[in-house]
Copies of this chain bind each other. A is one copy, B any other.
Amino acid sequence: MKAPKRDIAIIGVGTTKYGEHWNYSLKDLITEAGIRAIEDAKISGNDIELIVGGSMSSGMFVGQEHTGALFADYMGLNPKPAIRTEAACASSSVALRVGCMAIASGMHDCVAIGGAEKMTDVYGSQATTALAGAMDRDNEAYFGLTFPGVYAMMAKRHMHQYGTTREQLSLVAVKNHSNAMHNPYAQYHKKISVDDVMRSPLVADPLRLLDCSPIADGAACIIIVPAESARKYTDTPIYIRASVQASDTLGMYMRHDITTINANIQAAKLAYQMAGVKPAGIDVAEVHDCFTINEIISCEDLGFCKKGAGGKMVQEGETQIGSRIPVNTSGGLKAKGHPVGATGAGQIVELVKQLRGDAGKRQVDGAETALAHNVGGSGSTVAIHILSRNRGKVC
């Protein structure tokens, strides 16, 4: 995997509020996010040459496949080509990676990256059943394993091996709910305490309800162009300094160590190399906190602290806004919400706002370089993007 031959910049972003949108269909969601991104980029729909849209399980959720063409259709962009990507909860980060390829290949000059999921009124099955499609269906899901179960095993082992505490898990949720208070697009605007987490129902020991990201509806959209033309559109282009992805087994039973995600390690190494930065050079990060334990494990794997020290780092407040490495300023998946196909694109929306200095009360002062970390399943796919206010070296 090498850097693209052409630098790429983000010129517009848009998102819906995440939450329970009973009056919105999947296509309403993506259309709203798409129009906001187009308006933000100050372009017309005609400028868009390609749509790449991520959705995870629109078939099992709402009976709708072919969502690339659906997005093009309802955004009024026919006959422009449209591609759906799917990589479970990393679907729209992978869409962004395909968008980068499309531009760097010389085939397209302006690409809309979408992500959307409609999870609250499901078609023909339950949301948990659809989500379990991200794991090995034949060998694990079929026998009753669910994602809370997967991450509970990871948490148990992490606690055993590194002394991570139940309180440290809770503090991830407390921080992310606190950050979401200042994000108008977040699903929850509700401060919670460590006691609240402890009193919430047990889902899969040791994980409780408030350790889990919620079922949500939502969409997000990003407009990208070649870096050389970005300043035609905006005074604050945000450059993509690395777009990287790695894979691991779908089955947990095939992993050597469940306190780490090998695809995190592989993707992070490549991403830092491609962007020419080190973990200490990251000013703000969105880290995939589908369950509280994942923020802890992934912060370690991303090199924000030593292996095993993720729980302590949260407890010491190092991941809070204003501290060493603010993580999930948006509220994260936990409190901003986790409409799975939209999540990766939504992380980018937050970081673009941070790097533009437009994040309001949750702004990280002087943020120059940001990292988005998006996990599919239990880490079978990991996609990492590093964004910067500075174009930097050709990457």
Contacts and interface: CB of A to CB of B under 8 A. Distances in A.
A42 interface: no
Nearest to A130: B59
A49 to B, nearest CB: 6
Contact of A141 (B63, B105, B135, B251): B63
A144 interface: no
A21 to B, nearest CB: 14
A136 B168 CA distance: 46
B250 A81 contact: no
A73 B1 contact: no
Contact of A249 (B4, B73, B97, B132): B73
B108 A380 contact: no
A8 to B, nearest CB: 10
Interface stretch (A30-38, A64-72, A177-185, A299-307): A64-72
B86 A67 contact: yes
Interface stretch (A207-215, A240-248, A346-354, A365-373): A240-248
Interface string A68-93: 11101100011111111111100000
In the complex this chain forms, how many copies of it are found? 2
B87 A84 contact: yes
Contacts of A134: 65-66
B78 A66 contact: no
Contacts of A250: 66, 69-70, 73
Interface in A339-395: 376-377, 380-381
Contacts of A108: 1-2
Contacts of A58: 133
A315 interface: no
A49 B246 CA distance: 10
A94 interface: yes
A1 B66 contact: no
B137 A81 contact: no
A155 interface: no
A263 B389 CA distance: 39
Contacts of A72: 247
B377 A66 contact: yes
B84 A66 contact: no
A129 interface: yes
Contact of A247 (B6, B81, B85): B81
Contacts of A137: 62-64
Nearest to A340: B65
B380 A106 contact: no
A280 interface: no
Given A78-B248, A101-B104, 20 more contacts: A5-B5, A5-B106, A56-B65, A59-B59, A60-B65, A64-B137, A64-B138, A66-B86, A66-B88, A66-B134, A68-B247, A69-B250, A79-B246, A79-B247, A82-B87, A82-B247, A83-B94, A86-B86, A101-B105, A104-B107
24 contacts: A1-B50, A4-B107, A25-B138, A56-B65, A62-B137, A66-B250, A67-B86, A68-B381, A69-B247, A70-B250, A70-B380, A72-B247, A73-B251, A78-B247, A78-B249, A81-B246, A82-B87, A83-B85, A83-B94, A101-B102, A103-B105, A104-B105, A104-B106, A104-B107
| Closest 10 pairs between A and B when the two form their complex, measured CB to CB | A104-B105, A65-B133, A81-B245, A5-B106, A101-B101, A69-B380, A64-B137, A79-B246, A79-B266, A66-B88
